[in-house]
Amino acid sequence: MTKPRILSGMQPTGQLHLGNLEGALRNWVRLQEEYDSFFCIVDWHSLTTLYDKPEEMRENTRQVAIDFLSAGLDPDRCAIFVQSHVKEHAELHLLLSMITPVPWLERVPTYKEKLENLHIESPSYGLLGYPVLQAADILIYKANVVPVGKDQLPHLELTREICRRFNFIYGDTFPEPEAKLTEYAVVPGLDGRKMSKSYDNAIYISDTAEVTAQKVRSMFTDPLKIYRKDPGHPETCPVFALHSVYNKDQTGEIEQDCRAGALGCVDCKKRLTARMNEALTPIRDRRAQLEENPGELDEILTAGAEKARKVAADTMAEVRAAMKLE
């Protein structure tokens, strides 16, 4: 039986951190066994903010690809490729933009958030049309499933609306992609907020064991636990939250000792560091191998783009025929 197809991607806005690893990449690694999988580094999307930094974007793209592979994505089980290496994405984006009403785009929550958070006074067409390109990324592979968190459902619903509009005008061409709701691990940053590059509170996949240990030592802890023997409140402590990701088999003991004042914050951080570094060692080893062999990365991305391009070209032939453009 043919496996259902899945598509997901990430922007190369910087190196990936543990929030990306535990929140998405671990899930992708599992999904590649169940689906015909396409995982894309969406470099054109990052041009909405990095349009004037081409060298930075190029290096970020390679680093994200290395992180994908280091986390366990297998090029023999999935296609790993760079969006701009498959030009058909741009053609479908152009054609879909002709049938997408502007009010649909203006109501997208993240568009308004970016305008406010980045203080953008004169937004580009690319920023407004970002969801159309996102729809093209999904539809060009006729993805049956897209893994998303609940906060991303409005984006996928817009893709489904564009899909329905195209099929209504030109005939059934695309399947409507379904959301695969995933429970993303909430990974706190060094300051207790959600781990994010923009907050400068991240532990990166590429960080060494020493850098990771240094960052964990600097983490905020329970503000009410002043002395070692004071009772702790693990439910408010980001260090304990990371224990529940990397040290699940000991969280009950750690919680009990913390509440009883039998475990100090320094020792708690040392235990976390040991388990984190143990879990990250194979990923770091694979990263080092890929860094030392850039030709291997090039071959993987080339092969991934060829696989993706074949599917995308077949889809575009159908689209052009449906639109009477051939």
Q: Which residue has the tokens 């308004």?
A: 112
Q: Of 3, 53, 142, 197, which residue is the catalytic one?
A: 197
CA distance 25 to 12: 14
Clarify whether 3 is annotated catalytic: no
CA distance 177 to 135: 10
pLDDT tens digits along 270-308: 999 999 999 999 999 999 999 999 999 999 999 999 999
Burial class from Cβ neighbours inside 10 Å (0-12, 13-18, 19+) for residue 260 reads exposed
Domains by residue range for the chain, with CATH: 5-187+294-322 (3.40.50.620), 209-287 (1.10.240.10)
Contact by Cβ (8 Å): 108, 128: no
Name, in order, each residue with C-beta under 8 angstroms of 45's C-beta and a sequence gap of 6 or more: 9, 11, 83, 130, 133, 134
Clarify whether 225 is annotated catalytic: no
pLDDT tens digits along 70-125: 999 999 999 999 999 999 999 999 999 999 999 999 888 878 777 777 777 788 89
Q: How far is CA 219 from its chain centroid?
A: 24
pLDDT at 20 over 70: yes
SS3 137: helix
Amino acid letter, residue 229: K
- The tokens for 51 are 């349009």
| pTM, 2 dp | 0.92
> Length of the chain, please?
326
Q: Of 194, 215, 225, 269, which residue is the catalytic one?
A: 194
Residue by residue, DSSP assigns 156-190 as HHHHHHHHHHHHHHH-S-SPPPEEEE------B-T
14: left (phi over 0), alpha (psi -120 to 50) or beta: left
Q: What percent of the chain has pLDDT over 90?
A: 76
* pLDDT at residue number 108: 86
Q: Of 3, 87, 112, 114, which residue is the catalytic one?
A: 114
Mean model confidence pLDDT for the chain: 92
